[in-house]
Amino acid sequence: MAIRILVPLDGSSLAATALAHAIGLASPQDEEVTLLRVVERTVAQQSVDPLDWHLQRSEAQAYLEQTGEMLQAILPNPPGIVVLDGRAADRIVDYARSEGFDFIAFTSHGRGGLTGWNMSSVASKIAVRAVTSLLLVRPSASSVAQYEGTLEPVQYRRIVVPLDGSQRAEHVLPMAGALAERHGAELVLLHVVVKPELIQRMPLTEEEIALTDKVVLRNQQQAVEYFEQLGSRLPVRPETRVLVEEDVAGALHRFVNDSMTDLVVLSAHGYTGRQQWAFGNLVTSFLTHGTTSMLILQDMPWGAAAPFKTEHATETWREEGLRAALGSNALVEPGFNYDRAAN
């Protein structure tokens, strides 16, 4: 069954760098790629010149068709082309959800250029609202220079998979192993052993230090055995690394940056992840502070994530307004269609 990948583009060279990564996710015959362009219209732009709006849509269509022609030289099936209007992040997420795409492949920055922020506002909204697997590409000046009207699949050299021992974290291994085999890349399995924290009011005694060291050594040995078991299930022989640190996220960030990693493959949730949120703490840390491209495999279905506080606040505000209109004793059900009732 083909992997269905949605690639939102905004016409910039930065956003177009996602294409090389998207077509490198699987063999060409196993991919179905759809190119999406959103002609943005904000709430303040309810009244627009119809001719100008038609021109913008025509330009967007022409851009996608030109990009699609480059893809046809690589993919056996012509890419889908879709032009929508509205708010970019909202339309991208809604379209991916309604059409059931397996991945959204997008860049951390686009038309606004590379800024001091780790991600653009549109990319941030997609990342936190699209409860699906994501391929987030971190473009650079050099990667944009390589994209000059030609297109070739990206070549990964080192792929890092952080693991915490949970089955949810392990479910990325088939994809990571297949990518490493296809790209001829080094696959690194990485685990961080956390130093145990002892409650203390005085300096640790020799016995307490020995106890801490014993726990760390035991966990290191367990991690080594764990990696040996995982390695036998992969199509390539992985390199395994066990780090001992107090800060898990900090240790992972340093390793990824120092080892010149091309791609970090993560499960959306790990051992301690709360599945009512779209991502666990580690993925959120890499989204917020990471500088390396990421492949995030989602392990929860659409609609399972809890709404944001702002959504709760909006529902509460609308519910209170409806009660005021219908009477304080009115029974208002959660999730009720308030707009229809008010009309």
Asked if residue 92 belongs to a domain, the reply is: no
> Percent of the chain, pLDDT > 70?
78
Whether the per-residue pLDDT at 153 is higher than 60: the answer is: yes
Q: In terms of Cα–Cα distance, which of 139, 194, 154 is closest to 24?
A: 154
Q: Which residue has the higher pLDDT, 117 or 62?
A: 62
Q: Tokens at residue 141, please?
A: 């000046």
Q: Which amino acid is at 178?
A: A
Which residue segment(s) compose the domain that 336 sits in? 309-342
pLDDT at 46: 57
Extract long-range pairs of 243-248: CB within 8 Å, 24+ residues apart: 243/190, 243/191, 243/192, 243/193, 244/192, 244/193, 244/195, 244/216, 244/220, 245/192, 245/193, 245/194, 245/195, 246/194, 246/195, 246/197, 248/192, 248/194, 248/282
Asked if residue 233 belongs to a domain, the reply is: no
pLDDT at 212: 85
Average pLDDT of the residues in 78-94? 93
Q: Which amino acid is at 291?
A: T
* Per-range mean pLDDT, top range of 29-33, 55-59, 186-190, 298-302: 186-190
Asked if residue 240 belongs to a domain, the reply is: no
**Average pLDDT across the chain, whole number:** 82
Q: Which residue has the higher pLDDT, 270 or 100?
A: 100
Asked if residue 322 belongs to a domain, the reply is: yes
Domain count, the chain: 1
Tens of pLDDT, residues 218-254: 999 999 999 999 998 999 999 999 999 989 999 999 9
Whether the per-residue pLDDT at 171 is higher than 70: the answer is: yes
* Per-range mean pLDDT, top range of 44-48, 163-167, 173-177, 286-290: 173-177
Average pLDDT of the residues in 118-137? 89
Q: What letter does residue 205 receive in the DSSP assignment?
A: P
Q: For residue 287, give Cα distances in angstroms to 78, 108, 324.
A: 31, 9, 42
Q: Tokens at residue 12, please?
A: 């910039």
Asked if residue 321 belongs to a domain, the reply is: yes
Asked if residue 275 belongs to a domain, the reply is: no
Asked if residue 126 belongs to a domain, the reply is: no
Asked if residue 330 belongs to a domain, the reply is: yes
